[in-house]
Amino acid sequence: METRHRELLDSMREGGVAPHGDLRRLIADAAGDADIRERAAGLAREATLAVFGDAVFIRGLIECSNHCRNDCLYCGLRAGNSRLDRYRLDPEEILACCGAGYALGFRTFVLQGGEDGFFTDERLAAIVASIRAAHPDCAVTLSFGERSPEGYARLRRAGADRYLLRHETADAEHYARLHPEGMTLASRIGCLRDLKRLGFQTGAGFMVGSPFQSAATLASDVLLLHALQPEMAGIGPFLPHGDTPFGGCPPGDVDLTLFMLSLVRLVLPHALLPATTALGTAREDGRERGILSGANVVMPNLSPARARSRYALYDGKLHEGPEAAENLSALRDRLAAIGRRVVVDRGDYRGRSENR
C-alpha cells in the first residue's frame, strides 16, 4: 500500500476529509489491493466500536407495496416492468407485521415501498399514527421515495421519526444515466434537505457497481455524505434484475462495496449504517462482512409471505434464513460469532444532528 493512501485513511479516522482527487485515487487502487481494504476495514471497525460498542441495531422491514410510478433503470419495481406481479399491503396487515415484530424484539419498523400513488400523504400518515399509537416505544422509518415538503411535514407530524432516501449517486450526469428523464440529482438532494430540516433522522446512500459508475463518482459519494451529514446511509452492491434495461450488467463487487462502507464509516462516525440485504444476497457472509467493515444495523424482513418474493428490486433477493425476521435467533447467533450483540432498542442517532 502506498504511504499516501495509508496517510489518507489515518487522517480520515481523525475526522479529516480528503480532496476529491486523492479519494478517487484511493478508491481506484483499493479495488485491486486487499491491504488498503483491510486497513480501511480495521479503522472503520475501531471507529464503530468506539461509538457503539458491540451493539448491533435491528430494524423490521415491511415492504408495503411494489407498485411504482418511477422507472429507475436499475430497479425491478420500475413502472416499465410489466412482468412483475404487483401487490400492496393494507393498513391492517402492516399493523399486524408491527405487532409480530414487536414480540420478536424489534423497536424500529421500516415501511418501504415504490412510489405508489395509493399511499397518499393522508393514508400513510394515518398508518404511521396507528403504529405509533399501538407501539409508543417504537420508531417508525419511512422509505417511499420523493414527496413534497408538505407531504414530508405531514408524515413527520403523524409521528414518523426517520426517512430513507438514497441519493443513488452524487454525480449529476451519472444520476441521469440511471434514471429516466425528469428525475434529477438536484431534486433528490432537495428532498434530503427538506427531510433534515423537518427533523427526520435522514438516510442517504448509494449502490456500488451501478452501470457507468467510476472511482470519481464514488469519491463524489463520499464527499456528498460528508457535506450532508445524514444520520443514516445505505450502501449495497448493485445487483441486476433481468426485467430491467440493466439486466445484463455485472453485479457490483462485494469487496469494493465493503471498502466504500468503511470509508463512509470514517466520514460519518456516528451514523447508523446497515449491512444491507443486497450485501447478504451477494455473498453468504455479506452481513457479517458488512458489520466487520463498519456497519452497525441489520434490517431483517418482516413482510408477510405474499409480499416477500414479489418485492423484487433485483434478482435473487434474500428473504429467508437469517434475513427473515422470524429467524432472529439465527441472526443473533451469527453476529455473536463475530463478537456483536443484537440489542432490543430503537437505536436512534445519538450524534449531533446538523441541518446542512
**Where does this chain bind ligand SAH (CB under 6 A)?**
74-75, 112, 114-115, 143, 145, 165-166, 168, 207, 236, 238-239, 241, 278, 313-314
Residue 166 binds: one of ligand SF4, ligand SAH, none (C-beta under 5 to 8 A by kind)? ligand SAH
Give the whole-angstrom CA distance, residue 221 versus residue 202. 16
Residue closer to ligand SF4 (CB basis): 22 or 115: 115
Residue closer to ligand SAH (CB basis): 244 or 293: 244
Binding of ligand SF4 by 72 (CB under 6 A): yes
Helix (H) or strand (E) holding 203: strand 201-208
Q: Minimum Å distance from CB 152 to ligand SF4?
A: 16
Binding of ligand SF4 by 115 (CB under 6 A): yes
Q: Minimum Å distance from CB 146 to ligand SAH?
A: 8
- Going by the DSSP 8-state scheme, the letter that residue 251 receives in this structure is P
Binding of ligand SF4 by 75 (CB under 6 A): yes
Under a CB-based contact definition with an 8 Å cutoff, are residues 288 and 338 in contact? Answer: yes
| Grid cell listed for 286 | 455479506
Q: Minimum Å distance from CB 3 to ligand SAH?
A: 35
Residue 314 binds: one of ligand SF4, ligand SAH, none (C-beta under 5 to 8 A by kind)? ligand SAH
Under a CB-based contact definition with an 8 Å cutoff, are residues 162 and 232 in contact? Answer: yes
Under DSSP, is residue 294 helix (H, G, I), strand (E, B) or coil?
coil
Residue closer to ligand SF4 (CB basis): 40 or 77: 77
Helix (H) or strand (E) holding 342: strand 341-343
Q: Minimum Å distance from CB 235 to ligand SAH?
A: 9
State how beta strands 139-143 and 162-164 pair.
Answer: parallel
From first CA to last CA, the distance across the chain in angstroms is: 35
Under DSSP, is residue 25 helix (H, G, I), strand (E, B) or coil?
helix
Under DSSP, is residue 297 helix (H, G, I), strand (E, B) or coil?
strand
Binding of ligand SF4 by 77 (CB under 6 A): yes
- Which residue ranges make up the site for ligand SF4 (CB under 6 A)? 68, 70, 72, 75, 77-78, 114-115, 145
